Every structure is written in structure tokens, then in C-alpha cells.
Structure 1
Amino acid sequence: MARRILLLIMLVQLIAGLAIARAVAGWWPAGGWPAGLLLALASVLLVRMVISSNNFRMARRAGSAVPAGHALSLGGRLRLFWGEFSSSMGTSSWTMLRPRTTLHIASGEQGLPVLLVHGYGCNGGYWTRLAMRLSAAGKSWLAVDLEPIGAGIDDYAPLIEAALARLCAASGKPRAIVVGHSMGGLAARAHLRRYGDARVAHVITVGAPHHGTALANFGPGLNARQMQRGSAWLAELAASETPQTRALITSLWSHHDNIVAPQESARLRGAGNVEFGGIGHVELGSHPRVLRFILDEINRMDSARIVR
């Protein structure tokens, strides 16, 4: 479903771009279609930049204080914006159009398999960079698609359970590590509430709004309402969790997240919390520092399993 929506958006952008190019070619015959197409492309990029800038503006207005150790210089802020903008463009215009839902089973002793759970409005293609690294590291993995897009987050729990059953059966392992970005982290917690940890060795959430986000007020769907600050669903989820459940979770988050605001909403009491800086929300799923930490955490879990 996410792929079809993205294709529709790209079609609208293409029609608008061609209309701009035709108008420019008629108004400026010397430049012709080449100049028109160049201006059309610039217009599309400008609109996307404005959207990304507005996300940063809203997230900062509702944001938590940035510690001195994570403060950014002007150059750092420019790199933050470019990293998030380019990641958003690449994800929505390329990788999510080619979703990775094929089961990958590594040969030999591959350690714990990994289930990848995307966030709001995305699909398995979001995890392209991490999936490539997992394959290179000899890890088995599966990316699940959460549909329908606007469903309640609890509705995704059976999808995660079915994907875990498939992944564990194919890899020959009793349990897997779950990595969930944004809403996917909440869906992983909802799965634990409903099914327990029989198939889950550990959960790594990446930029998950554990305590809600102000920007969810602008999103359609029941899941967006559940991610609003102070929602009853978030309170019920937190109340259902034991210290043992929280100990299964590691939460990675950024002080410069442009979707989760306040950014410290991603900090989860009783879980392992790891802070990053200078990384936007979408880029968290592809930034080298974050991917390196995720792989190190997976390898640590494998080593602990072998020792036991």
C-alpha cells in the first residue's frame, strides 16, 4: 500500500513538473524544454526542502533541550538538514519503491535472525541499508510490511508474530532480534504485550516515540492518534510492561530528531537508552553510526547466547 501511495505521489509530481516545463518552454523559447525540465526538477526539490524544513521547525518548537555535548555548529546543522533531506528523498523515491520483504537466510552459523519493522507510512524498503549490512555480516533477516497503513498499532502485532514464526522456522532458531524504527518500535512493544517474548531475544527501537510526539497531531489514521502526546493507548502500553519486558529493549534516539518531539520522548525508562546527535528521523535507519551500533548490539547478543 505504501508503495502505491508513493507511486501516486510521484505521478502527481511528474504531471506538475511537465506542466511547469511546458509553461517555461512556451514563455522562454530560447531555453525550450531543457530549461523547463530543469526548473521543474528544481521546483520539486524546493517543495520537498520546504516540507523537511517545516518538520525541523515544528520539532524544535516542541523539542526537548539539546545537551551541550550534542550542540551543533552551523556546519553541523547544514549537514543534519542535508542528511535528513537526502535520506527522505532516497527512501521515498527509490528504496521504498523496491520493498525488501524477501526472506534472507544466511548459510552456516549465522547467529540470531533479525526481524526489521518499519515506521509510520513506510514499508520494508526503508531498511535497505541495514538489510545489506546484515547480509554482508552473514545474518538472516526478514522485513515485515505493516498494513493497513492507518490501522491501530495493536493490529500489527499478529503480522509481527507471523513474520517471527516464519523467520525462526526458516533459520532454525527459536528466537529473533526485532529492530523497529519509529512506530515500528511501538509495534514491537505491542507484540510483546500480546504474545510475550517466546520468539523475541531482544528489541532495538530506533527513533521510537515511546511517550508520543507532537507531530502525530498532523498525521491521519488511528495509529497517528495513538502516537499523540498523552494518548490513552501509550499509557496503557506502558502500564502493561514489567521491568523484565523493559530490560529486553534498547532504545536508540537522536537529540535532533525532526519527527519525534520532544526528542526525549524516545527515552524509555528501564530500557537501555543510547543517544545520538546530528541525525534526523529518517536518516536514523541508514546513518553509518547507527547501523554500526545496531550490528554491534546484534553481535553482542549472539556472543551472550553462545556463552550461555
Structure 2
Amino acid sequence: MNARWQQASILGGLVLALAWLRWQWPQSPALALAGVAALLLVPAWSITLQFLCLRAAPRDTAVPAVGTRALLRAWWAEVLLAYRIFGWRQPFRTHAIGDEVPHGQARTGVLLVHGYLCNRAFWQPWQRLLAARGIPCIAVTLEPVWGSIDDCVPVLDAAQRRMEQATGRPPVVIGHSMGGLVIRAWLRSRGALVCDGRGEAQAAQRLRALAAHVVTIGTPHQGTAMADVSRTANGRQMRRRSDWLLELARHEPQALAASMTCWYSNCDNLVFPASAATYPGADNRLVRNQAHVQMAFDPRLMLDCVARAQQA
């Protein structure tokens, strides 16, 4: 389902472009080509709008300002990644790289949890890197695409149980964007929560048994302004100070912050203000001048996560 709607979107766009070309070419070749170009550039228009919203938003004084040149570089990198990931990798290469789950290997594995409108193919550069280092890895595809974040929890839970059964160890769990919220919702579902101020020690113990460490990348822990216009269930949950986010935070143990690294950017075109991607008390790390998808493939970030899995 996740890849199918992306395939349908791309193929439908191509059919529309060809139909327009056939209809307009006899009358005006220039207009025909302009229409095709406009259709093919829809992802670029969308990302441009996101960056314009970022630029127009009140500046987050907690992070360094972004210059125009850096903003343009991030925009260009994000446009290229959009065509590569949403135009090819996710629709047509979803299972090109399988999971690496060798049984009986006592090494800490890694679970990769994608974000909004993505699937497991998002993580292919990570999968190659982890495989080269001999680190067990599972990349999940969250379903339903536009459902509640809580509805995605069973997919992650099944992957964690599978990895722990294979390695005998709790994995490092890495989430990009909405994937980080799925991780938090999953921890809550497995009992790593505090009720009415009681059970902090038990929740912390449960947390350590479930995940060796949690890493989030561009996750709207405190919501994002871009979600204010969303009409999907999971989009509404990511609004600033949404009831869902407030309820999630209310029952989380203090130990979660100590077990979490949160990467965020001052040039995130989907999660802003930038500090909304931080978690109070966690190891919050700034990636300078990188866009929302771009920062997920920052070499320093990736190698840091690999080292954490190797040391766990």
C-alpha cells in the first residue's frame, strides 16, 4: 500500500504529462513543453513552498541563523533527494535491500523507522553502511500511511521482538521525522511510562530492556508549524501542543531523556521552529544548514549512530 500510492502518483503524473503533450503539441509546442515541465517540477515547487514558509516563520533564537546561500544549498540538496527517494527508491525499490537479521549473533542490532509518507527504502544508504559493518538491521514500513501514529506501533513492535529474538539484545532504535514519535508511542505501549508520578524506576528498567538507545532525526517532539494545515490523523497529531503530544509527554519517564539522542537542524524545512525537534533533557545535537531529509544522511550523524550500535 505504501509504495503503491507513490507508484500511482508517479505513473499518473507521467500519463497526464503525455496526454497534455499530445493535446497541445499541434497548437503550441512551447506551451506543450512548458506544461510537461511544470508537472515534472511539482516536487520542486512543493519543497520551494516549504522553504518559503521556513523563511517567513519567526526566527528561532535558540539556533544559529541561516544565510541565504546556505538556505539555497539546502533547498537544492532537498530537491535532488526528493526525486531520488520519492521518485524512484520508495515507489520502485522498496525491497531492493532486505533486512539483515542473522540468528545467534550476539551483536546489538538497529531498527530504522521512517517518517511521514515514506517507507523502508528511505533507509537504503543506512542499510548498506550497517551491512558493511556487520550490524544486524531491520527497516520497517509503517502502515497505515495516513492513520494515527498509534496505529503504526504494532509494526515497530513486531520488528523489535524479531531483532531481540535473533540477537538476544535490545536494539538501537532510530527514527526520522514522524518515526521518532512512533518510537515514543511504541515505548508507551510496552509499559515504559509513568502513571500519576509513580513507577519511575519500573519504567526506566522497562525502557532499558526495550531499546539500547533511541535516536531521533528531525522529529517534531514538540510539534511543527507545518502540521497546522494537515488534515490527516497523523498530521494533526504533529501539530504544536496537540492533545496527542501533550498526553504522550505526560507519562514518559525521566529516564527516556537520558536514553535519547535528538538530531535537529536550523534549516529544517518541515520541522520548525528548529527547537521543536529537541527533547527536554536529551542529548540534543544540532546539524547546521541541512534540510529535513538531507540531514538524515549526514555522514557525521550516520557514523555516530553506527558507533553507538557497535558500543552497545
TM-score of the pair, normalised by structure 2: 0.86
**2:79 maps to which residue?**
85
Offset of residue 241 of structure 1: 1.2
**1:6 maps to which residue?**
6
C-alpha distance in 2, partners of 1:89/1:290?
Answer: 22
Alignment of 1:215-254 (within 5 A): 215-254=226-265
C-alpha distance in 2, partners of 1:58/1:289?
Answer: 28
**2:270 maps to which residue?**
259
Q: CA, structure 1 residues 73+55, in 2 after alignment: closer, same or farther (shift >3 Å)?
A: closer
Contiguous gaps of at least 5 residues in structure 2: 193-206
**2:27 maps to which residue?**
27
Between 1:258-267 and 1:281-290, the stretch displaced more is 281-290
Alignment of 1:1-308 (within 5 A): 1-27=1-27, 42-62=37-57, 64-65=59-60, 69=64, 71-74=66-69, 76-97=70-91, 98-100=93-95, 102-105=98-101, 111-170=107-166, 172-195=167-190, 196=192, 197=207, 198-299=209-310, 302=311, 305=312
C-alpha distance in 2, partners of 1:150/1:201?
Answer: 29
Contact 2:63–2:275, Cα closer than 8 Å, also in 1: no
C-alpha distance in 2, partners of 1:7/1:68?
Answer: 38
Offset of residue 296 of structure 1: 3.3
Q: Percent identity?
A: 34
Contact 1:181–1:206, Cα closer than 8 Å, also in 2: yes
Between 1:187-196 and 1:213-222, the stretch displaced more is 213-222
Look up the SS of the partner of 1:94 in the other structure: helix
Contact 1:114–1:177, Cα closer than 8 Å, also in 2: yes
Look up the SS of the partner of 1:212 in the other structure: coil
Q: CA, structure 1 residues 136+106, in 2 after alignment: closer, same or farther (shift >3 Å)?
A: farther
Quote the RMSD (CA, aligned, Å).
Answer: 2.4
Look up the SS of the partner of 1:281 in the other structure: coil
- CA offsets 1:149-193 (integer angstroms, 9 cap, x no match): 1221122222211110112222x2321010001110011011111
Q: CA, structure 1 residues 63+8, in 2 after alignment: closer, same or farther (shift >3 Å)?
A: farther
Q: Between Structure 1 and Structure 2, how many residues are aligned?
A: 294
C-alpha distance in 2, partners of 1:191/1:107?
Answer: 24
**2:203 maps to which residue?**
none
Offset of residue 96 of structure 1: 0.8
TM-score of the pair, normalised by structure 1: 0.87
Contiguous gaps of at least 5 residues in structure 1: none
Look up the SS of the partner of 1:104 in the other structure: coil
Q: CA, structure 1 residues 149+220, in 2 after alignment: closer, same or farther (shift >3 Å)?
A: farther
Q: CA, structure 1 residues 63+139, in 2 after alignment: closer, same or farther (shift >3 Å)?
A: farther
Contact 2:63–2:274, Cα closer than 8 Å, also in 1: no
C-alpha distance in 1, partners of 2:285/2:136?
Answer: 25
C-alpha distance in 1, partners of 2:306/2:253?
Answer: 26
